Structure 1
Amino acid sequence: MTLSPTATQDGRLDPVAGVLTGERRRLINLAYRMLGSLAEAEDVVQETYARWYAMTRPQQEAVASPAAWLTKVAGRVCLDVLRSARARREQYVGEWVPEPLPSRAEWTFGALDDSTADPADHVTLDESVSMAFLVVLEAMTPAERVAFVLHDVFRYPFAEVADIVGRTPAACRQLATSARRRVDAARAPLSPTAERARVVREFKLAWQARDIKALIGLLDPDATAVGDGGGLVTALAHPVEGAERVAGFLAGRALPDRLTFRECTVNGQPGLAAHLDDALLAVYAFDIADDRIRHIWAVLNPEKLRPWQRD
């Protein structure tokens, strides 16, 4: 049963329905950053609301701040998901890449077009959902990731973070500090959006022309390319490293005549979507610094491309 944040299981109007509805977008934003998966974020939010409506009316009325209660429950559910995800991703076929998000203009959210999709479900596309940022978060322990996202991204005080993570405020401060060092070490100066879009456009043209020299000129010497097919479609089994190897791999791939690349926004950053006729095959995200591409993430797993699909 799918629960609406406006009514209880027995059909009664919820006295804090407006608060619950208003919190849905924030919870989706929080859960996606913690998990790197929109599908898992949706499940977390649904589970959070289910737990609210499983309480009796007196229990609900005893909650001083429904918004804080929802955050605490969602945070703890995310922590449980992250702990189990570590084991699941060890069994994942090939490389695991966070689920890419389209721009709001392209958003379909479960095969719905933008005119009918619930705007409360849109994830705010800023630097904290860039693919580069999410990949760094993937390297953190579950506790580090939750503490960092709650404190550094959503500005929750450590006393509240501690209640969610189940550690002392001092321990949570250390977790966030450790996570922040990882983020700072991986972060590079961000070029203006127009410059990044130009680099992606030139990359697309060089790839289509199979111009190895032009590709090498657009890639950082230590560039890496990672593919995620999830075992459902063919993708890179391991990352390709180094500008010359990445360029050689791309130029050596046989591209179907009907394959087209569309410039788009992926997690708030310039990216590409590959289509064969009307079928979406892959979404490409880029990490660009100093007009050079440092990382390419190709998501081919169809289960991760559902928000991009159009009927």
Structure 2
Amino acid sequence: MLLGVAYRMLGRAADAEDVVQEAWLRWTSGDRSDVREPRAFLVRVTTRLALDRLRQAQARRESYVGPWLPEPVLTDFGPAAPDTAERALLVDSVSLAVLVVLESLSPLERAVFVLREAFGFPYAEIAAVLDRGEPAVRQLAGRARRHVEEGRPRYDVDPAERRELTERFLAAASGGDLGELLALLAPDARLVGDSGGKAKAPLRIIESADKVGRFLAAVAPPVRTTHVHRFAEINGAPAVVTLVDGRPDSVMQLEVLDGRVHRVYLLRNPDKLGGLAGL
């Protein structure tokens, strides 16, 4: 749970792990004699550490090269998967689209949204975590919820349909088939690429089906190259992880509505792909 809170706050798995490790060190090395509720104590420490790191990260992101996307994480829970309702809530709160919207919230709004909407904490408990009054927390929650609802894409697609469309899209992109790409893309399609300036990817968001299709067709790898594609559940949805020489090189995920691709996420920053090694 602590990793879940920290990741949704920060959008980076490595940063989330650092925060939870520091929270645990404070738990194990401090005086716990007056701690009546360990869970509440650890959530409070984790959230406050994540807030501090988030404020630092937002300052760094102002100089980030190109668009910024969250670090992708595997979310195939396997036999330990939660029930359908709980899983839907967890997946929605960790989707790339929602995490991108959360980037536009203030740190306090993001903390309140994560604790309330993703984990169902009572307002009074969130107020204690943030050392704020409950009325102020309710106002923060209302603002954050409205902002997320306004920015959240309205995509609700069966995972099997999304996987099938992803397979067709991958085949068209890999083969440089512009006609098939244009048939699959919605007219207002957008491609958001994240390289951090450390790999080849667009430094601006590409808009319109024609421009997105032509970009993907132009960058199709030569037939002689040995790219390996693996399908995986990334941030709650089907995605393609491309391996080059056995190492993750990119992640592509699609947002789909009415059988057409409305958004393409392309992650190529090597600093964000380490958690996918071993696929």
- TM-score w.r.t. the length of structure 1 is 0.80
Question: Post-superposition, which runs of at least 4 consecutive aligned residues in structure 1 deviate over 6 A?
Answer: none
Distance 1:140 1:277 in 2: 39
Match of 2:278, as an amino acid?
R
C-alpha distance 145-139 of structure 1, shift in aligned 2 (>3 A): same
Distance 1:213 1:165 in 2: 53
Match of 1:78, as an amino acid?
A
Summarize deviations over 1:16-57 as a string: whole Å, max 9, x none: xxxxxxxxxx1011111111110010011011111112313x
Percentage identity across aligned positions? 41
Summarize deviations over 1:111-133 as a string: whole Å, max 9, x none: xxxxxxxxxxxxx9622211111
Partner of 1:13: none
Q: How far 1:144 moved relative to its partner?
A: 0.9
Q: What is the 5 A alignment of 1:226-265?
A: 226-257=192-223, 258-265=226-233
Summarize deviations over 1:54-98 as a string: whole Å, max 9, x none: 313xxx021110111000111111111111111011122222110
> What SS class does the counterpart of residue 262 from structure 1 fall into?
strand
The yes-or-no answer on 1:217 pairing with 2:183 is yes
1:131–1:286 Cα contact (<8 Å) kept: no
The yes-or-no answer on 1:76 pairing with 2:48 is yes
The yes-or-no answer on 1:96 pairing with 2:68 is yes
Q: Unaligned stretches of 5+ in structure 2? A: 79-88
Match of 1:70, as an amino acid?
L
Distance 2:101 2:256 in 1: 15
Partner of 1:22: none
Q: How far 1:103 moved relative to its partner?
A: 4.1
Q: Unaligned stretches of 5+ in structure 1? A: 1-25, 107-123
1:129–1:268 Cα contact (<8 Å) kept: yes
Q: How far 1:182 moved relative to its partner?
A: 2.3
The yes-or-no answer on 1:274 pairing with 2:249 is no
Match of 2:190, as an amino acid?
T
Q: How far 1:266 moved relative to its partner?
A: 1.3
Distance 1:69 1:173 in 2: 21
2:231–2:241 Cα contact (<8 Å) kept: yes
> What SS class does the counterpart of residue 221 from structure 1 fall into?
strand
> What SS class does the counterpart of residue 61 from structure 1 fall into?
coil
Q: What is the 5 A alignment of 1:37-52?
A: 37-52=12-27
Summarize deviations over 1:178-197 as a string: whole Å, max 9, x none: 22122222231411111111
Match of 1:154, as an amino acid?
F
Q: What is the 5 A alignment of 1:1-311?
A: 26-56=1-31, 60-104=32-76, 126-185=91-150, 186-257=152-223, 258-310=226-278
Match of 2:112, as an amino acid?
A
Over the residues paired in the alignment, what is the CA RMSD in angstroms?
Answer: 1.9
Q: How far 1:282 moved relative to its partner?
A: 0.5
- TM-score w.r.t. the length of structure 2 is 0.89
Match of 2:168, as an amino acid?
E
C-alpha distance 102-225 of structure 1, shift in aligned 2 (>3 A): same
Count of paired positions:
266
Distance 2:222 2:92 in 1: 34
Match of 1:153, as an amino acid?
A
